Amino acid sequence: MLPHERPPLAPADLNRINPAIWPRTSTRTDGTLTVGGVDVRELAREHGTPLYVLDEDDVRSRMRDYATAFAGSEVHYAGKAFLCKEIVRWLHDEGLGLDVASGGELAVALSVGFPPERITMHGNNKSVAELTRALEVGVGHVVVDSYEEIARLGHLAQELGKRPNVMIRVTTGVEAHTHEFIATAHDDQKFGLSLNTGAAAEAVRRILALPQLELVGLHSHIGSQIVDTAGFEVAARRLTALLVQIKEEHGVVLPELDLGGGYGIAYVEGDEAPDIKELADGLREIVTKVCTDAGLPVPRLTVEPGRTIVGPGGITLYSVGTVKDVEGLRTYVSIDGGMSDNVRTALYGAEYTAALVSRESTAEPMLSRLVGKHCESGDIIVRDFHLPADLVPGDLIAVAATGAYCRSLASNYNYLPRPAVVAVSGGRSRVIVQGETEDDLLRGQL
Ligand SMILES: Cc1ncc(COP(=O)(O)O)c(C=O)c1O
């Protein structure tokens, strides 16, 4: 059902905070949302809007859930979802590893002393400088993505006298999105070395020919917002077939398998989010079964969840600026941020839940579109949903589940400063990433 086809909510439903969508510590009293024990009106007063708010207890509890559910395996948080020094500290506290996709992400981790051996370095075009830094600090794994990179890494490793653990990013031909997975035709993308074309097997030959590289395993990442394990099973079977081929051709048994991330979260009513324990049991069972069937020892499993760890614990808080009714169609509610702080709707039609959170309202629902203040008509945060008809400028709107891929994809389009990120817990808020100022926007300009 398309969002605008959903039946309008009753006024009482507009105030509902669905615990599957909103941060774990969210409560609503007299219409006002509280997260981490802090009233959102207080947050807006103290830090201004727009504001990214991260429920620390929620995020940490999801880190712990993963560590517990995947005990005996490795959980490497995918930093691309949202990374800052404080998140790295939480990861360290909760015993998780980290997956970085650039030298910048690596620098954030190293800046607070995160152990390099717990870091996996990703990227389809890592620069010589990025690879050099990764080797010098001794990251735990480098996931190679091309023949050029194998040669480059081999050369650098020799020069620096290092022997990095290497995985190959394999394109298995499985691309999963939500419920369906398509097991063909996805070799046509920039990531990885294809199983179908034999590029992955050739990468194995090239790495094994370089004694300065230690080939330890295969990696695959099959998509995003995945809610069941069916696609992982196909990918694991295909990777295992390659493991068998490697054993037969080279007499080498690779000890590690990394199945990437991509687990889904609930953004709107009716979305399913996989239970982490069930997911862990399912993935372990799959890997054990496919390897046992193939007569191979069970490799050490690594997973790389991003969205599921930081997504649900984040909200974005906005102030309403204008409320424009386009008669017979819908009401455009303009807030003080937009596609510069959340590009996901404009970029790929993401759906979100949003609500009036600064007061109670019993007004009738009005079909609304939550839009930003940028010079793009596609600057939409929530396409079609219902807000109370008595909405006025100054009201606060919160958008749920914005902890992942919002701040990390944020821009300065139209010279808007990127908002601060505050962590809330135990009735207190603290800034973990400062909001940008006009000086920040002008810095570096000559
Ligand atoms: C290699 C790799 N690992 C992990 C992730 C994290 O995915 P998600 O945040 O959907 O869990 C991604 C996302 O693009 C990825 O490319």
* pLDDT tens by residue, 238-268: 999 999 999 999 999 999 999 999 999 999 9
* 375 among known catalytic residues: yes
At 393-423, the pLDDT tens digits run: 999 999 999 999 999 999 999 999 999 999 9
pLDDT of 4 reads: 55
Measured in angstroms, how far is the CA atom of residue 100 from the centroid of ligand 1? 10
Domain with CATH 3.20.20.10 in the chain: 56-309
**pTM of the predicted model as reported, rounded to 2 decimal places:** 0.95
The verdict on the CB of residue 260 being under 6 Å from ligand 1 is yes
- All CATH 2.40.37.10 domain ranges of the chain, comma separated, are 3-55+312-442
CA of 225, closest atom in ligand 1:
10
Place of tokens 């024990």: 37
Ligand 1 within 6 A of CB of 76:
no
Contact 341, 316 (CB under 8 A): yes
Q: Sort residue 444 into left (φ over 0), alpha (ψ -120 to 50) or beta.
A: left
Instruction: Check if the beta carbon of residue 382 is closer than 8 Å to that of residue 370.
Output: yes
Q: Which of 84, 291, 375, 406 is catalytic?
A: 375
Convert the pLDDT of each residue in 101-160 to its tens digit: 999 999 999 999 999 999 999 999 999 999 999 999 999 999 999 999 999 999 999 999
Q: Locate tokens 């981490």: which residue?
A: 36
Give the integer Cα–Cα distance in Å for 378 and 319: 20
Q: Which residue's C-alpha comes closest to atom 4 of ligand 1?
A: 261
Distance 83 CA to ligand 1 centre (A): 13
Biggest CA pair distance of the chain: 72
**Residue 325 neighbours by CB under 8 Å, 6+ apart:** 331, 332, 366
What number of other Cβ atoms are within 10 A of residue 234's Cβ?
A: 19
Kindly give the pairing relationship between strand 365-371 and strand 380-388. antiparallel
Evaluate whether 336 touches 47 at the Cβ level (below 8 Å): no
Average pLDDT over all residues of the chain: 94
Candidates 129, 211, 98; CA nearest to 164 is 211
Å from CA of 233 to ligand 1 middle: 17
Rounded-to-integer distance, Cα 222 and Cα 220, Å? 6
SS3 per residue for the chain: CCHHHCCCCCHHHHCCCCCCCCCCCCEEECCEEEECCEEHHHHHHHHCCCEEEEEHHHHHHHHHHHHHHCCCCEEEEEHHHCCCHHHHHHHHHHCCEEEECCHHHHHHHHHCCCCHHHEEECCCCCCHHHHHHHHHHCCCEEEECCHHHHHHHHHHHHHHCCCCEEEEEEECCCEEECCEEECCCCCCCCCCEECCCCHHHHHHHHHHCCCCCEEEEEECCCEECECCCHHHHHHHHHHHHHHHHHHHHHCCCCCEEECCCCECCCCCCCCCCCCHHHHHHHHHHHHHHHHHHCCCCCCEEEECCCHHHHCCCEEEEEEEEEEEEECCCEEEEEECCCCCCCCHHHHHCCCCCEEECECCCCCCEEEEEEECCCCCCCCEEEEEEEEECCCCCCCEEEEECCCCCCCCCCCCHHHCCCCCEEEEECCEEEEEECCCCHHHHHCCCC
Question: What percent of the chain clears pLDDT 90, i.e. is strictly above it?
Answer: 83
pLDDT of residue 132: 98
What confidence category does residue 180 fall into, taking pLDDT thresholds of 50, 70 and 90? low
Tell me which CATH homologous superfamily contains domain 56-309.
Answer: Alanine racemase (3.20.20.10)
Centroid of ligand 1 to alpha carbon of 403 (angstroms): 14
Give the atom of ligand 1 at the shortest distance from the alpha carbon of 306.
9
Whole-number pLDDT of residue 185: 44
Superfamily of domain 3-55+312-442, CATH level 4: Lyase, Ornithine Decarboxylase; Chain A, domain 1 (2.40.37.10)
Ligand 1 lined by 169 (C-beta under 6 Å): no
Structure tokens at 179: 């419920």
pLDDT above 70 for 2: no
The contacts found for 115-118 with CB under 8 angstroms, 24 or more apart, are: 116/140, 118/76
Q: Is the CB of 78 under 6 A from ligand 1?
A: yes
The answer to whether the CB of 385 falls within 8 A of the CB of 370 is yes
Answer whether 396's CB lies under 8 Å from 40's CB. yes
Answer whether 224 contacts ligand 1 (Cβ < 6 A). Answer: yes
CB of 56 shorter than 6 A to ligand 1: no
pLDDT score of 26: 98
Q: How many other β-carbons are positioned within 10 Å of the β-carbon of residue 293?
A: 11
Is 36 near ligand 1, meaning CB less than 6 Å away?
A: no
Nearest atom within ligand 1 for CA of residue 404:
9
Separation of CA 157 and ligand 1 centre (Å): 27
Cα 373 to middle of ligand 1, angstroms = 30
Q: Are 99 and 78 in contact (CB under 8 A)?
A: yes
